[in-house]
Amino acid sequence: MSRTSPLRKFRQAEELSKFALDVRQGLSQTQKEIPSQYLYDQVGTALFEAITYVPEYGLTRADERLLRRHAGAIVDHLPSPVAVAELGSGTGRKTRWILEALAKRQPVTYFPIDIAPTALAKCRQELAELAGVSIVGLEHSYVDGLRDVVSRRRDGQTLLVLFLGSTIGNFEPHAADRFLTDIRRCLLPGDALLLGTDLEKALSVVLPAYDDDAGVTAAFNLNVLARINRELHADFVLKNFRHEARYRARERRVEMHLRSTTRQTVRVRDADFTCSLQEGETIWTEACHKFRLEEIPAMATRSGFACTWQWVDADWPFAENLLIAMSHPN
C-alpha cells in the first residue's frame, strides 16, 4: 500500500489552504476571478492536452514545429555542457527535440518543473526512452523549482531554461517583466531562457482557438468550478455557467470567462465563504496576451536578458525567442 510522506501531506495542506484563500479573495472582487493556475489540476491538465489537438488551436503545433525544425540551431548558441530546466513542463512532449539535439553532443540532465505530480509522471513516461538524457522531476512552482535546479548545477555548466507555449502571455505585462526578472536573478551570465510567445493574429483565428466547436475548451474552463466543488466542498452547479471567450483589442489579450446564466448563490464551505452572482455576471479565469515580435527584445532587456535570436512559424504566428542572461541583472 502506498503512503504519502509527512512532507507531501504538509505541502498538500498548505496548497489547499492557499487555494481556499485565493478563491475567497478572487470571488470577493467586483470582477470576480479565479487565478488561472487553478485550471490545471489532474483533470484540467488532461483537458488542456486535448485542447492542443483541436483544429482551432494552432499554438501548440506551431511551438512544436519551431522546436523540431530549429532545435539544432538553438542549442548551437549554447556552450557545453548544458543542463535543461523547464518551467511548467506538462508532458514534455515538445521538449524532446531540444533534448535530442543536446544529447547528440553530450549527456544531458533535464529538470521538468511542474506543480502537478501527474504531469511529471507523464513527462517521465514520454521521454524515458531518450538516450543520453537523465530526468529529475521537481514538484514545485516555477521560481522555487528553478532555485532547486540552480542548487544542483555543476561548475562550468550552462543552464537552459525553457518557458514554452506562450505561458508568459498569462501574465499581465508588468507581472511578466517581474517574473522574467525573477528568473534572471536565478541565473548566471551566459545562461539562457528559451521563451515561447504567441503573436498577434486575426480575430477570426484567435477567438476560435479559445472556444472550439467540440467544446473542449469549455469543459477545461468549467472544470475549475468542479475542482472547487471537489477540493473546497463548494456547491457550484456547472449547468448554470457558460464558457465565454472575448478579445480585448486595447490590451491585445483573449480572456476566458464563466458567465452565470441565472441569479445564484454559491457556498464554498472550506473557504468559509458565500458568493452571490447576478444573471450575466462573469468569473474571469484566464488572460492570454498576444505579442508583437518587436516588443520581445525590449521586454528581455528590461528583465536583464539580451534577445539574441527569434524563430517565427510561418503558418501560425508564434515565436521562439532565445534570451541570454546579461552580466548585470536589473
Q: What would the DSSP string read from start to end of 236-255?
A: --GGGEEEEEEEETTTTEEE
- How many distinct structural domains can be found in the chain? 1
Tell me how far CA of residue 274 lies from CA of 31, 50, 71, 233, 265, in angstroms: 16, 33, 50, 12, 7
pTM of the model: 0.91
Encode 245-255: b = buried (16+ Cβ within 10 Å), e = exposed. beeeeeebbbb
- Tell me if 82 is assigned to some domain: no
Of 50, 55, 6, which Cα lies nearest the Cα of 208? 55
pLDDT tens-place string over residues 85-128 = 999 988 888 999 999 999 999 999 999 998 888 889 989 999 99
What is the residue whose three cell numbers read 524532446?
96
- Tell me if 243 is assigned to some domain: yes
Of 101, 111, 224, 219, which Cα lies nearest the Cα of 159? 111
Identify the domain containing residue 209 by its residue range.
6-55+205-289
Of 222, 230, 231, 293, which Cα lies nearest the Cα of 258? 222
- Tell me if 244 is assigned to some domain: yes
- Tell me if 200 is assigned to some domain: no
Length in residues, the chain: 330
pLDDT tens-place string over residues 16-70 = 789 999 999 999 999 999 999 999 998 998 999 999 999 999 999 999 999 999 9
Helices (H) and strands (E) in the chain, counts: 10, 13
- Tell me if 35 is assigned to some domain: yes
- Tell me if 185 is assigned to some domain: no
Supply 13's cell numbers: 495542506
- Tell me if 248 is assigned to some domain: yes
- Tell me if 75 is assigned to some domain: no
